[in-house]
Amino acid sequence: MHVGERHYRTIWLSDDGRSVDIIDQRWLPHEFRVETLSTVDAVATAIRDMWVRGAPLIGATAAYGVALQMKQDASDGALDRVWDELHETRPTAINLRWALDDMRNTLKPLPVSERAAAAYRRAAEIADEDVAINRSIGKSGLEIIKSIAAKKKPGETVNILTHCNAGWLATVDYGTATAPIYLAKEAGIPVHVYVDETRPRNQGAQLTAWELGGDGVPHTLVVDNAGGHLMQHGMVDMVIVGTDRTTANGDVCNKIGTYLKALAAHDNGVPFYVGLPSPTIDWTVHDGVKEIPIEERSGDEVSFVQGRAPDGNIVSVRISPESTKAANPAFDVTPARLVTGLITERGVCEASPEGLLKLFPERRPNS
């Protein structure tokens, strides 16, 4: 995507050919900053403290973190240690483990002398593959938007509700949930997006709104609890969200509050779709509510909000009594029965074991 006149991915190799540059998302939408990561510890901090976020981008960042380690020490012990250090940063997003497993499986058979170069090659491939996957998700989802538009009067707007940020900032480029929206705009379909603010970190208000505005997509920021009201009054044609982990039976784990959107959509007959890159499928898990670990983040994210003060400075302010304890589960699980369809790079399927296996037959037992 573009920032001003320049095309950006969210992560890329620095000019020195060793370090990694990222868009530091902590400061958006008020300031656009690029941060250079030169050590594994810096990569771990960037993932844990959400300088980068979104399951696909976390995976790509972790892959480059392994490459940084191999440049310094490519021994088996170092490879295992970097896997452990980066894996513990964010427990819910399955792409993190997928990328780390991929890197370790790629590098372990190689001589130590070849591992650094191979690590950088594979990290770059993972980033490129993510872009291709997201573009294909966009094409699959575009057909859904086209079908909704075809049922409307000519020129009438398709209204889409999204939650959190599943845009290009959550991936290497294009995004998952937003990819169909961007392609619909390119195709000349009038679209409008209701953007959930997405408390507590406000990724919708700060990131999705910034993205859509930069691309010229009409959008309106709404509080998280407005979605049900909008659906009751026929103001939403479809909901589309991303996912941090999806089970083999189609349960979807995503940013906290997604489950409530799915309930409201189900009650009002509004189709509820999930943009799903295949590395986000956890084929080892079959019951999302019982089996997916839900990250519990600091209560400070609930008790404080960040914004730009009248003097122009970016500040954090407390919004609750100092004596009040805050809980902060970062994700929830939407059962497959509430999901209209999963939009993948291979097409759209129902949220069920058979639906997923039709698109990914190689995952069938004994296949």
Question: 25 with 50: CB under 8 angstroms?
Answer: yes
Tokens of 101: 């497993």
* Angle value at C-alpha 122, between 117 and 126, nearest 5 degrees: 150
H helix or E strand, kind and range, residue 196: strand 191-196
Tokens of 225: 């609890």
**What is the C-alpha to C-alpha distance for residues 278 and 309, in angstroms, rounded to an integer?**
41
Q: Check 24, 173, 244, 282 and give the catalytic one.
A: 244
Which residues are 6's β-sheet partners? 3
Residue for token digits 């639906």? 355
Is 102 annotated in the active site? no
In the chain, the N- to C-terminal Cα span, in Å, equals 38
Phi-psi region at 175: left, alpha or beta (left = phi > 0; alpha = psi -120 to 50)? left
In sequence order, the 6+-apart residues with CB closer than 8 A to the CB of 88 are none
Return the active site residues: 244
